[in-house]
Amino acid sequence: MSDVAAVKQLVSKYNALRTEISKVIVGQDEVVEQVLLSVFSGGHALLIGVPGLAKTLLVNTVAQTLGLKFKRIQFTPDLMPSDILGSEILDKDRNFKFIKGPIFANIILADEINRTPPKTQAALLEAMQERAVTIAGQHYKLDLPYFVLATQNPIEQEGTYPLPEAQLDRFMFAVNLDYPSFSEEVEVVKSTTAGVQNEVNSLFTAEEIIEYQQLIRKIPVADNVIEYAVTLVGKTRPDSQAAPELVKNYIDWGAGPRASQNLILAAKANAALHGKFSPDIEDVQKVATGILRHRLIKNYKAEAEGLTIEKIITSLF
């Protein structure tokens, strides 16, 4: 199959995928789109929102429709790294045997990831970056495709630990979930209290997803689009000459090179999922907020004046 035909097939399957997910998830169109962009780009996503906004249900539904092996890890203050990675035990012949932890799946739901201390959060770092884990000196490859979709309650809530910047940077997208509109909430209440459960169909295989990820990576990008993405990321760094006054006054720390890479990858995915054969500057702008949101650190002046990260990012366009 030619690349042109493959992109057309991807668009068709992507639209069918959105329809399947909408059987269970009401509204949240932008959230669903960013999660799927992350999946087809081969990245990870962090879903941020108060409890009860169907974050867990969304991840579960996405895993079902993609036909992937799914594991949920409920992060708690007493969770240990071995509870995630697995551990070695002595069998009846007194030999060490490795028992795999829940991290060995295609989609990992790291539920309420910021309720566990940094030591346990760090257990995910190698898996997220290398698609492998090292336990007792042994290197174990994880099955591909591999995604971590984490949910996080707002930091201000009781019993939460801020994620380290190194771990935040591993997430391609940070997606904010807002409360549903009045009509959406009415529909949610109707559908969840009627005793009828909507079933979703599996539309992909693991092999197909890997093929589409490779297809997206092969999509050509014009030099001016890459330069725009790199310039945009450079503007987020307060010590850069290109940084506007808003950034110099209100940002303590800007985005690193991984943000530039993710901008282009996500722009490629956004173009392909909408039937285009090369991304343009509009595709970069479309994905920029989700990719930069968790990589910029505001200073106390921005907090005091109620200036949001989203407003600062939008001003960079």
Q: What was the pLDDT predicted at 90?
A: 77
Summarize pLDDT for 253-310 with one digit per residue, the tens. Answer: 888 888 899 999 999 999 888 888 888 888 998 898 889 888 888 888 877 887 788 8
CB 172 within 8 A of CB 287: no
- Which residue did the predictor score with more confidence, 2 or 109? 109
Distance separating alpha carbons of residues 73 and 105, to the nearest angstrom: 11
What is the average pLDDT across 196-213?
Answer: 80
Q: What was the pLDDT predicted at 267?
A: 92
- Answer whether residue 53 shows pLDDT above 80: no
Q: For the chain, how big is the Rg over CA atoms in Å?
A: 20
- CB neighbours of residue 302 within 10 Å: 20
Q: 108-123: string of b/e by CB count within 10 Å (b at 16+)?
A: bbbbbbbbbeeebbeb
What is the average pLDDT across 46-62?
Answer: 78
Alpha helices in 193-294 (DSSP H): 206-218, 223-234, 245-250, 257-273, 281-292
pTM as predicted: 0.83
Distance separating alpha carbons of residues 54 and 62, to the nearest angstrom: 12
- pLDDT band at residue 157 using 50, 70 and 90 as cut-offs: low
- Answer whether residue 125 shows pLDDT above 70: yes
Which domains are seen in the chain, by residue range? 3-205 (3.40.50.300), 219-316 (1.10.8.80)
Q: What was the pLDDT predicted at 268?
A: 92
- Answer whether residue 158 shows pLDDT above 70: no
Q: What was the pLDDT predicted at 195?
A: 64
Sign of CA pseudo-dihedral 86, 88, 90, 92: positive
Q: Give Cα 106 to chain centroid, integer Å.
A: 14
- CB neighbours of residue 304 within 10 Å: 10
Distance separating alpha carbons of residues 90 and 85, to the nearest angstrom: 17
Residue 282: which residues within 8 A CB-CB, separation 6 or more?
Answer: none
Q: Return phi, psi of residue 70, to 5°.
A: -125, 135
Residue 52: which residues within 8 A CB-CB, separation 6 or more?
Answer: none
Q: What was the pLDDT predicted at 266?
A: 92
- Answer whether residue 156 shows pLDDT above 60: no
Summarize pLDDT for 82-92 with one digit per residue, the tens. Answer: 888 877 777 77
**First-to-last CA distance in the chain?**
37
Q: Is 115 helix (H, G, I), strand (E, B) or coil?
A: helix
Q: What was the pLDDT predicted at 94?
A: 76
Structure tokens at 266: 């996500």
What is the average pLDDT across 165-193?
Answer: 78
- pLDDT band at residue 136 using 50, 70 and 90 as cut-offs: confident
CB 45 within 8 A of CB 150: yes
Owner of token pair 């807002």: 178
Residue 197: which residues within 8 A CB-CB, separation 6 or more?
Answer: none
- pLDDT band at residue 6 using 50, 70 and 90 as cut-offs: confident
Q: Of 101-105, 134-138, 264-268, give the lowest mean pLDDT range.
A: 134-138
- CB neighbours of residue 190 within 10 Å: 11
Q: Of 43-52, 148-157, 201-210, 266-275, give the lowest mean pLDDT range.
A: 148-157
Average model confidence (pLDDT) across the chain: 82
- Answer whether residue 22 shows pLDDT above 70: yes
Summarize pLDDT for 217-263 with one digit per residue, the tens. Answer: 888 889 999 999 998 888 888 888 877 787 778 788 888 888 899 99
Q: What was the pLDDT predicted at 1?
A: 63
β-strand partners of 298: 251
CB 248 within 8 A of CB 238: yes
* Beta-strand relationship, 297-298 and 251-253: antiparallel
